[in-house]
Amino acid sequence: METPSVPRKEETEIDSMLATGGTAPLMEAIMATESLAGLQSIEQRDLMNLVDRLRRAGLSSVLQLPQIVVCGDQSSGKSSVLEAITEIPFPRKENLCTRFATEIIMRRDVESAIHCKINPDTGRTEEEKLELRKFSKSIHDFTELPSIIDDATNAMGLSDGIAFSRDVLSVEICGPDLPQLTLVDLPGLIHSANKSQSDEDVELIKSLVESYISQKRTIILAVISAKNDYANQVILKNCRLFDPNGARTLGVVTKPDFLRPGSENKKSWLDLVSNRDIYFELGWHLLKNRSDDEHQLSFAERNSRERVFFNTGHYNELPHSIKGIDSLRQRLSDLLFNHLKRELPILKEELDKMATSVHIELERLGRSRATIADQRAYLADFFGSANDLVTMGINGNYEGRFFGAVNVMKNIDAKENSSRLRAVVQYLNSQFANTMNQKGHKYYVRDCDGQSGDESSDEESLEDAVILPAGRSSSGTVENLTRKEAVKRVVQVIERSRGREIPGTVNPMLTNHLFWEQSAGWRAIAQDHANKIALKCKDFLVQVLEYTATPELMSRIMNMTVVPALEAAREAALNELERIDEDMKRHPITYNHYFTDTLQKIRTRHWATEVRKIANKSTTEQKYFIDVIAKQVVERHLVAPLTEVFAPRVLARYSDKQIHFLAAETVDVIRRREHLESRAKILKEGQEAFYIAMGQDRSYENVKMAITILPPTFDDFRNTARDAQDLDEDMDMGDENRPAKRARLSGKTDTIVTPGEIITDDPQWMRGHGTFTPAVPATTNIIATVAGTVLKTNKLLSVYPLRARYTPEIGDLVVGRIVEVQSKRWKVDVSAPLLAQLPLSAINLPGGILRKRTAADELQIRSFFNEGDLLVAEVQTVHGDGAASLHTRSLKYGKLRNGLFLAVSGMGGGSGTARGTGVVRSRRQVWTIETAYGGPIDVILGVNGYIWISKHVRDPSEEDSSGSKSKVSFTRLEDTVSTSMYSSQNDNIPLATRKEITRIAGCIRVLVEGGVKVDQETVMKAYEASLALDDEEEDSDMEGDDGQGGTRKEGRYYLGGEKASRLIATVLSRGS
């Protein structure tokens, strides 16, 4: 346990801080029982703590948490099993059954207490829920629990007759020796209804039991009674339904004393318990609970009688591990530990996925908007985002997630590609031009032999091809004519169009009439094209709204803004088309040299001149018509106005009433937001619990899930050591080479990112250390892997950690904690990215014996170091992956005791941190302080940031009380020291020594918080300064009542507030 930053404690508190391995010694709880202690182990304590933190965060209402459920048929002895495991007295009467689920939550706490409450069923009314939540009682002894259960039964409305409830009685038991564990006792399954239990009761209990055992993280304790044939006990059928292989089911057989000795029935039950009949991966267990006549027996007597019973007859042949309450507790302990190790990583993954999903949904809802100002700000953000996407789509700039990847499997104008508006418009314009060339004329003139024209010259063929490209088949209203039929048609029109012209000439209006007839279908084709463009514009805006707006806002903005704007644009486009069509019907005017030049070439030819005049007139006007439709109808009236749909000035014209209509949240949205925010808070607390368990600090504010941390600020007295990271000088590059929308910065910026946060999606940047780019799905996102500041060097993006982990180097002296015992080695936490390893061959054997390690040494490996033990060691080797190997072969290394553990930020000697604070490498990492009041105290500064402060252990070679050195041989010295080197027993430490240890720990904390490096020199200066400050306070006559039951003299160990600032100032002034 780390000491608090304000190390002012009473004597008992200081006592608790000086436990082995730096943890507080366990106080004996008033209500602690031997069986409860049997449910905990060192290995599983941390995992249990994690699950408890998740449960207290409310995560059980969101995700399934690991738990143990006791279930079985009615009167199978479930409550007796739970009572035997926990030694908590449950009511046991004739014809009394469990009528609701009882949740036993055991929690480690400083104070001992029992709190009871009711968790109402979700199917109850709000009034009933409120009334049941008022049920809250605290008791001081387990003997009061039966009366609490009776009160809860009445509160649930179960007092009249026998009935069952879906409400849950939660009994929370707190104590310093309790394991973090949750056990659930469920009502017994009923085979059939009777006068006391209805069909509704049968179904209610069945669904209640199934709701628990179907949860994949629930360990099922399936209890069956030997009084009844196990083939008829429905709990087994239900367990195999939800857990076919028995991977999380442990069968428990009760009441074996009812089996007749030597009978076949007894043999079949023994086969079942031996897992030879109904197979469960977790196996079976045999218990003998107290009978009704033995109800007054104590739990010790109950356990004693059970052991006697199982030591007789055939039961004596069963393995000890599958019979009796003691071995059941051990099985549950191991089972739960392994279950948690397997399930928690999966739970963490589910938790993160759900948190991401909730975050995305909250982002889609946008920020809360209760006032008009909030609503205007919300709409301003939306209009800005939407307008940016519209502008990019019109300009053909398809960067960003909105536009997605190109879908080449679909047509260009398909819905999947409609976000690429400019490409769609260009494609439809091309289609319009093709349609005009193929179907824009009424007559198609060709020769009978397939050649279009009387002349065979290339010039004539080219001229006639303008009417319709050769080889294209006509369809629709296009009429096929041969050349002769076309000439005849023209002659007929000439004859019927004569005016006052002299014979041999034609009416000047003849060409106009023929052209109007030939181009009669142009308007319909253009109008169809305009309608297609208008539809694609609408699809594009709908996609923009789907991407940027909530469903409610999208519906309102479509009706109030988008649809009117699109209708106005379409109407303006059709009006423009009407004007263009009217212009085409006026007297033809053209100054196109193509028409006049071609006409001069054919003027001297035969009667086909008029046909050719019509063809050239049609070609010229058709090209003009295609261009003017694309420019004036499509671009001017359909595409360009889209940039005005979400323009800021449109929003500025809206009244407050319109703003409220658009942006105000509905009641459903408000409730949804409250639900999501509540769930996000629970999920965040669950994530915090995981990070705390993994030794990471996430106390910062979670903003938008991609967390933004305000940069830390430091006082002037902090060191300003330059980062060890070498940065290349920025190169002088042109604007065209610079990443889009990114400032050109070299070196460390003020931008702080956290793991998982997207730094940029610009493909021009390259990823550096502290970042990664996911391979699946393939993106250009550069994502941070550590919390730190962004470094930009040329086009390289890196993240420099705020708190660097310790990087081992050969020869480093480190303080570590054993976290795992393996075969022939220990895994040690030294605050490095990877766990270090300590081989069995790298430690001193007791007595200093030098020999090869044997199999016997491997078997007693835990007698040297166990999980949770602290040690001081030296880094012997650093492997290629960065993991370190340690050794403790020197007498100055080994297990630590009689002291206090301290972990500080910053390590590695100056180059390990950005601010140059924390423990630094120095000439002396271990020394003894001759304190003013508590005698000598040893200080070990691990370069990894872990520190050990302990009572000085007198070396036999040191001077004795008479001032002369003891004459001890080296071998004898080694034997003397080695005999206690692996002891976990603390010595008796005087109060004065403990207070001085606390003082030194406080000095080190003040140094770290003040940004001052930690080494022997600064620690000694801080210690001396603290003594000087004590003398100043005494000289100032500050002794007296401090308002908290103590005296100012006791305040000498308080080093917080103004005293800390004065201490830092003193240290720095002495250093200068």
The pLDDT of residue 596: 57
Q: What is the mean pLDDT of residues 350-370?
A: 78
Element (DSSP H or E) covering residue 211: helix 199-213
Give yes or no: residues 178 and 288 share one domain: yes
Q: Is residue 600 in some structural domain?
A: yes
Average pLDDT over residues 1026-1050: 58
**Lowest mean pLDDT segment, chosen from 354-368, 693-707, 863-877:** 693-707
CA atoms within 13 A on the CB side of 47: 24
Asked if residue 710 is part of any domain, the answer here is no
3-state secondary structure 407-425: CCCCCCCCHHHCCCHHHHH
d(CA 437, CA 318): 96
Is the per-residue pLDDT at 456 higher than 60? no
Distance CA 11, CA 723 (A): 43
The mean per-residue pLDDT over the stretch 876-890 comes to 87
> Can you give the pLDDT at residue 254?
92
Q: How far apart are CA 662 and CA 551, in angstroms?
A: 12
Whether 122 has a pLDDT exceeding 50, the answer reads yes
665 pLDDT band (50/70/90 cuts)? confident
pLDDT tens digits for 747-800? 445 578 888 888 888 888 888 777 888 766 667 888 888 777 887 877 778 886
Closest-CA residue to 826 (of 845, 813, 840): 840
Find out whether 302 and 84 touch, Cβ atoms under 8 Å. Answer: yes
- Tell me: do 106 and 214 sit in the same domain: yes
Task: Give residue 216's pLDDT.
Answer: 82
Who has greater pLDDT, 530 or 5? Answer: 530
Q: Is the peptide bond before 712 cis (omega within 30 degrees of 0)?
A: no
- pLDDT for 66: 74
Please give the structure tokens belonging to residue 965: 């050195």
Residue 41 in any domain: the answer is no
Whether residues 790 and 842 share a domain: the answer is no
Q: How many CB atoms lie within 10 A of CB 88?
A: 22
**pLDDT confidence of residue 838:** 93
Q: Has residue 24 got a pLDDT over 60?
A: no
Please give the structure tokens belonging to residue 418. 């409609």
| pTM of the shown model | 0.42
Instruction: Tell whether the model's pLDDT for residue 873 goes beyond 50.
Output: yes
User: pLDDT at residue 556 above 80?
Assistant: yes
**Which of 205, 253, 203, 202 shows the shortest CA–CA distance to 229?**
253
Residues 6+ positions from 948 with CB-CB distance below 8 Å: 22, 815, 870, 872, 896, 899, 900, 901, 902, 938, 939, 940, 942
- Render pLDDT for 629-650 as a digit per residue (tens, 0 to 9): 889 899 999 999 998 899 888 8
Q: Which residue has the higher pLDDT, 315 or 57?
A: 315
Contact yes or no for 676/365 (Cβ under 8 A): yes
> Rounded CA gap, 358 and 684, in Å?
11
Same domain, 788 and 838: no
pLDDT at position 727 is 35
Domain boundary among 734, 767, 795: 795
Who has greater pLDDT, 545 or 148?
Answer: 545
Judge whether residue 948 has pLDDT over 90: yes
Residue 968 reports pLDDT greater than 70:
no
In a domain, 456, yes or no: no
pLDDT score at 672? 81
**Hey, how many other C-beta atoms are within 10 angstroms of the C-beta on 706?**
16
**Does 890 fall in a domain?**
yes
Confidence check: pLDDT of 722 > 70: no
- Inter-CA distances, 14 with 10, 644, 1007, Å: 6, 72, 21
The pLDDT of residue 846 is above 50: yes
Q: What is the pLDDT of residue 253?
A: 94
* pLDDT value of position 572: 92
Averaged pLDDT for residues 608-629: 68
Q: Do 400 and 325 reside in the same domain of the chain?
A: no
Q: Residue 1039: inside a domain, yes or no?
A: no
The answer to whether 537 and 459 have CB atoms below 8 angstroms apart is no
Q: Which of 794-803, 984-993, 1052-1061 has the highest mean pLDDT?
A: 984-993
On the 0-12 / 13-18 / 19+ scale of CB atoms within 10 A, 611 is buried
Residue 841 has what pLDDT?
86
Average pLDDT, the chain: 75
Q: Give the pLDDT band (50/70/90) at residue 971.
A: very low
Band of pLDDT at residue 365, cut at 50, 70 and 90 = confident
Query: Taking 80 as the threshold, does the pLDDT of residue 46 lie above it?
Result: no
- Tell me the per-residue pLDDT of 66-112, one tens digit each, with 9 for 90 and over: 778 899 988 888 888 888 888 777 666 544 567 888 888 877 777 78
C-alpha 798/C-alpha 788 separation (Å) is 9
Give yes or no for residue 803 having a pLDDT over 80: no
Closest C-alpha to 367, from 543, 558, 541, 553: 553
Percent of the chain surpassing pLDDT 90: 12
Question: Do 198 and 271 have their domain in common?
Answer: yes
Residues 345 and 385 in one domain: no
User: What pLDDT score was predicted for residue 906?
Assistant: 56
- Are both 301 and 249 inside the same structural domain? yes
Residue 589: the pLDDT is 63
903-914 pLDDT tens trace? 886 554 443 333
pLDDT at 523: 85
> Which band of pLDDT confidence, cut at 50, 70 and 90, is reported for residue 720?
very low
Q: Are residues 166 and 177 in the same domain?
A: yes
Q: Which of 645, 662, 679 corresponds to the end of one domain?
A: 662
Q: Report whether pLDDT(464) > 60.
A: no
Q: Are 982 and 864 in contact (CB under 8 A)?
A: yes
For residue 301, is pLDDT > 70?
A: yes
Residue identified by tokens 């209708």 is 567
Predicted local distance difference test score (pLDDT) of residue 222: 92
Distance between terminal CA atoms of the chain?
35
Q: Residue 138 contacts by C-beta under 8 Å, 6 or more apart in sequence?
A: 113, 114, 115, 116
Predicted confidence band of residue 885 (pLDDT cuts 50, 70, 90): very high
Is 1019 within the bounds of a domain? yes
Show the CA angle centred on residue 465, arms to residues 460 and 470, nearest 5°: 125
Q: What is residue 9's predicted lDDT score, i.e. its pLDDT? A: 35
pLDDT at 32: 43
Q: Which one is predicted more confidently, 386 or 593?
A: 386
User: Is the residue at 16 inside a domain?
Assistant: no
Per-residue pLDDT, averaged over 670-696, amounts to: 71
Q: Is the pLDDT of residue 586 over 60?
A: yes
Burial of 660 (0-12, 13-18, 19+ CB in 10 A): middle
Residue bearing tokens 């050719």: 612
Residue labelled with tokens 């007595």: 847
What's the confidence (pLDDT) of residue 689? 64
Of these ranges, 157-171, 407-421, 434-448, 729-743, the one predicted with the greatest mean pLDDT is 407-421
Task: Give the tens place of pLDDT for each residue, 393-442.
Answer: 999 888 888 888 888 888 888 888 888 999 999 999 998 888 888 877 77
Q: Return the minimum-mean-pLDDT range out of 13-17, 294-298, 571-575, 836-840.
A: 13-17
Q: Which helix (H) or strand (E) holds 949?
A: strand 946-951
| pLDDT value at 494 more than 90 | no
Q: Are strands 67-72 and 181-185 parallel, antiparallel or unpaired?
A: parallel
Which domain does 941 fall in, by range?
898-954+979-1034+1054-1071
Higher-scoring residue by pLDDT: 747, 543: 543
Tell me the average pLDDT across 915-944.
Answer: 83
DSSP 465-527: HTTS-TTPPP-TT-EEEEHHHHHHHHHHHHHTT--SPPTT---TTHHHHHHHHHTTTHHHHHH
| 922 and 827 in a common domain | no
Per the rule left: phi > 0, alpha: psi between -120 and 50, beta: everything else, 810 is beta
Q: Answer yes or no: do 615 and 761 share one domain.
A: no
Poorest-pLDDT segment among 230-239, 241-250, 444-453, 1022-1031: 444-453
Please check whether residues 290 and 436 belong to one and the same domain: no
Number of domains in the chain: 5
> Would you say residue 669 has pLDDT above 50?
yes
Out of 242-251, 653-662, 953-962, which region has the weakest mean confidence (pLDDT)? 953-962
For the beta sheet containing 899-903, the strands, ordered from the edge strand earlier in sequence to the opposite edge, are 899-903, 946-951, 936-941, 926-930
Residue with the bigger pLDDT between 11 and 938: it is: 938
